[in-house]
Amino acid sequence: MSLPGESTWWFVFWMGLLGSLGALLPACLVLFIPDGWRHRVMPYLLSYATGTMLATAMIGLIPEALERAPVHEVGIAMLAGLVLFFVLEWTVIWRHAHHDESGCPHGHGGDHGMENKAGMLVLIGDAVHNCADGIAIGTACVASPALGLVTTLAVLGHEVPQELSDFTILLSSGFSRGQALFWNTLSGLGTLVGVVASFGGLAFAESIVPYALSVAAASFLYIGLADLVPGLHGRMGAAKGVWQFAMMIAGMVTIGALTMLPH
């Protein structure tokens, strides 16, 4: 494969498209697992998803943010992110409870809305994360097309298991296959937005990267610890808990290995 001498808008666009949609294609295979079999393996997939989300935050996003901003600024951004996602979750809970108490029709009722809250938070957090990935790709493309390609491949490396986790969480939260594909694709386009923003206005885009990474890390920690872990405790008995724990560790190891890729 021959690369251009310098990055052009077309090259940057294709790198952004590869970084945004390239990870969705292998990850969306989970949508084609038959319902009965998927329900049996869902606790294990959710355990793996939890491990990838926590590891992405702790050994991927936070160290990356600390390389670009002082520790106290990263801490403030993460705290703001945790508060933001607490408020978002509270708003979703209150809104569905309000509809339920007032007797207004709302699809399958308040319980279905409560189940969807984790999926909504995942989509918001992943959109922020994808935008930060796009900024990294666009910044690398400014330096050289070769570095842009390497950065895009590194983004793909950690995004495939992350998108697999997202699809699993969305399906577990009550989204249909079509809804999960549509909303996750829309969230994935945040990478393309970040690429265009950074390549077109590098000075501004580069300055927000550490704070976008911090907020994304806060969202993954909040979702993993506040929504996924408590739900996993009631999904299977103690006899299968060892496998559940093993899948969570496998998710962490996967992200740990992928963070060693050059980027």
DSSP string, 221-249: HHIIIIIIHHHHHTTS-GGGHHHHHHHHH
Q: Helices in 33-176 by DSSP H: which ranges?
A: 35-55, 62-66, 71-102, 110-143, 145-172
Nearest C-alpha neighbor of 262 from the set 164, 136, 125: 136
Predicted pLDDT of residue 72? 95
Question: For residue range 49-70, what is the model confidence (pLDDT) as tens digits?
Answer: 788 878 888 887 888 889 889 9
Q: Write the pLDDT tens digit of every residue in 115-172.
A: 566 777 788 888 887 887 887 788 778 767 876 777 787 677 667 777 887 888 888 8
Q: Which residue has the higher pLDDT, 1 or 52?
A: 52
Angle between helices 145-172 and 110-143 (to 10 degrees): 170
**Residue 109: pLDDT band with limits 50, 70, 90:** very low
The region that residue 118 occupies, defined by phi over 0 for left and psi between -120 and 50 for alpha, beta otherwise, is: alpha
CB 158 within 8 A of CB 263: no
Does the structure show a pLDDT above 90 at 79? yes
Which stretch of DSSP H or E encloses residue 202? Answer: helix 202-222
Phi first, then psi, for residue 184 (nearest 5°) are: -70, -35
96 or 134, greater pLDDT: 134
Neighbours of 212 (CB within 10 A): 25
Q: Which residues contact 195 (CB under 8 A, 6 or more apart)?
A: 12, 13, 15, 16, 19, 134, 135, 137, 138, 141
